[in-house]
Amino acid sequence: MPQMNRGGKFIFGRSLVHEDGTIRLPDQAAEEYGLTAGSRVYLFTGSKSTGGFCITRKPLLEPSKLGHILRDLPGLRDHTAEPSAFLPYKGRAYCWTDLSPAMELRLPPSALEFLSLTAGMRLLAIRSSDIAFTMGAKGPLLERAEGYAGDSPEFRGAAGLTAGAGCDMITPYIDETKELTMERLLLHTCCAPCSVYCVDSLRDEGIEPASFWYNPNIHPYQEYKARRDTLMEYSQSIGLELIVHDDYGLRDFVRAVAGDIDRRCGHCYTCRLEETARYAAAHGFSHFSTTLLVSPYQDHEGIRQAAEALAERYGVAFLYRDFRPGFRQGQAKARELGLYMQKYCGCVFSEEERYAKQIARDKEKFS
């Protein structure tokens, strides 16, 4: 199974979409995710950048943080809904279907149309997460696969062919202009809603980041926990690697900024970005960046300057992107997905500022 760039996505191979809607699944993907001939599987729509669909099974989905999908869609859970008929749910759509004895899916024309798939397409099988793998139909990752300098299997699975005969080894044409110079990106992530556009945008560039949670500036604890847990659930749902460096740093943060509360944001940026740069350097990441760059409410240039200084100190490159044009788009998608949306920046002082008018009214009311 090839890995197209260090720290990037693993691919299992390609699968051909046949005229009758038959799609043969790669053997290694089926083995890794515990799929068996004749069993029932769940399909759900892929990301906007990759398209296609993802595949999982009940024992993987039900106990996961996404198990609420089955609780909220009993027809999907109990297989009483029409097979291969997609049910919309929080920004994606889900269905169930049966695998054939030859480890093939057979999607009806309605499902192919819903997924924007046509006969002759070659889907790329990608390891997405511990829950599901993706059969991607478009986007930078598929373009990268065309230039992959190595062998990857193509699963044809045409009627009448045995499993062995249905799998040909192919060597794609190598286009060196498509080689990514970025080896691995660690993306400091302040919260799930802010990560939505950043991750989508990076994936559209063909960059697969690893998300890094380190936010000791967020208080009180229940707020910290809500943001952390929402990011954990969202990362899992989109197949995003997440590294959680858990540190509820209320006391240390307050001590550090108590002398100049009005200028606390500089410390807030630096402490988080420094830990990100340090971790990136220590764990083999070539670049780091941050979702703080998406917010029009933050000191954008202050963040950039702090990150560039830390990049020089720790010897790891800082990837600058101005994500701000996509802020509204990302927030709208986060609401559509039902993600927890915080009401203030993070620290207790920003919470006070958020409710300053209400505090003043209450003070006047009770004085």
What pLDDT is stored for residue 173 in this prediction? 26
Alpha helices (H) in 52-191, listed in sequence order: 58-61, 68-72, 74-77, 109-114, 140-146
CA-based angle 268:273:276, to the nearest 5? 135
pLDDT recorded at residue 154: 61
pLDDT at 172: 31
pLDDT of residue 353: 72
Does the predicted TM-score (pTM) go above 0.85?
no
**pLDDT score, position 343:** 82
Tokens of 66: 């996404």
Q: What is the pLDDT of residue 153?
A: 58
The pLDDT tens digits for 185-202 are 999 999 999 999 999 999
pLDDT for residue 273: 96
* Residues sharing a CB contact under 8 Å with residue 195, sequence separation 6 or more, in sequence order: 187, 189, 211, 231, 234, 291
CB 159 within 8 A of CB 22: yes
Q: Say what the pLDDT of residue 329 is.
A: 94
Q: Which residues of the chain have pLDDT under 50?
A: 1-8, 151, 158-181
Report d(CA 95, CA 115) in Å as an integer.
12
